[in-house]
Amino acid sequence: MPVIKLHDKYFKPFLSHAEIQTAIAAMAQKIAADYKDETPIFIGVLNGSFMFVADFLKQYQHPCEVSFVKLSSYQGLTSTGIVETLLDLPENIEGRSVIILEDIIDTGRTLKELVHLFTNTNVKEFKIATLFYKAEIYNGEYRIDYVGIEIPNKFIVGYGLDYNELGRNLKEVYQLSQKHMINLVIFGKPGAGKGTQAEFLKDKYNLKHISTGDVFRYNIKNNTELGALAKSYMDKGDLVPDEVTIKMLQDEVEKNPDASGFIFDGFPRTTAQAEALDAFLATKSIKINATIALEANDEVLIQRLLERGKLNGRTDDQDENKIRNRFDEYNLKTAPLKDFYEGQGKFHSVNGIGAIDEITQRLAKVIEEL
């Protein structure tokens, strides 16, 4: 099984045809033990399950019927979270044992829609069988009765599963071959040039720059569910809980599956937030590779901010006392974070004074040594 390319992505071998057939035969044997004395209706979920259903029926040597429903929730590498019913249930299921044949169950969104489809039917029994099962991200809302192969949370194609409609005809299963991701946390006092450098780094290394401030503004401006929730705390003068901020960052990460990594700017600001960020990234099988602090002399930064204040009109960039207070707050909050990341061997300090391209070269040197 060689590495293959579908559209713009490379996929490496994961499961052979023989391994898949062995799992299907075992599933058919288990289900037959439960239903060989009646005639169950197997319902395949299109498009992904067509190969699985065909091979399963060849292994199931007892009377049965088969039908299909069609649902859709995937675009590219990620689930849209919106599940559409494109083909309705068969009409002859009342009083019958129904067994759903799913190609893959991951988050459980499609499964939830399937359960809803059967809510108002009078079936004798309703069970769920899946060939592939991502246990680590399944929400656990419904019981899964028969599992072929439990797999890690990796994007897979082949044997009916696709990447933007390619790969369904492969008789083996391949998983996405991820290039090494670079995930950075960038620190710096006001005026240190974090935003400027993040723009250069994201273009140079195909990284997604996630500024917490920008993400908050986007969600609040567009009145998203998370934006409304954050605003409800802010309107009361309360701090927005870390879990709300993490969920916003999670949405940003999941919206950018093609990025070669992420630059987190403005988060974390506390050790608890750093721990929460690590925990979230671990669910994606990724991690922070480095935290980089742009260091600069306070007096240089004060002059830089005062000049900036003349141009942008920001009052907090025009008052030296306010600037020094912001520096004190930064020092107070960043000190524990420095200890946290130094403990992981991930803290790097970079001189933030000099020409912009010189600073970019210093940052690039750190990144390329990772």
Catalytic residues: 194, 269, 308, 314, 326
Rounded to 10 degrees, what is the CA torsion of 257, 261, 267, 268?
Answer: 110
Query: Residue 359: CB partners within 8 Å, gap ≥ 6?
Result: 193, 197, 294, 350, 351, 352, 353
Q: Helix, strand or coil for residue 97?
A: strand
Rounded to 10 degrees, what is the CA torsion of 53, 57, 62, 66?
Answer: 50
Instruction: Round to the nearest angstrom and report the end-to-end CA distance of the chain.
Output: 31
Burial class (CB in 10 A: 0-12, 13-18, 19+), 131: buried
Which amino acid is residue 29, in one-letter code? Q
Question: What element of type H or E holds 45?
Answer: strand 41-46
- Calpha distance 95→290 (Å, rounded): 59
Paired tokens of 251: 């949405």
What is the maximum span of the chain, computed from C-alpha positions, in angstroms? 85
DSSP 171: S
The pairing of strands 173-176 and 156-157 is antiparallel
Please name every residue paired with 15 in a beta bridge, in sequence order, or none if there are none: 173
Which amino acid is residue 221, in one-letter code? K
Helices (H), the chain: 17-35, 50-59, 109-117, 194-205, 212-221, 225-235, 242-254, 271-283, 298-312, 320-343, 356-368
Q: Helix, strand or coil for residue 179?
A: coil
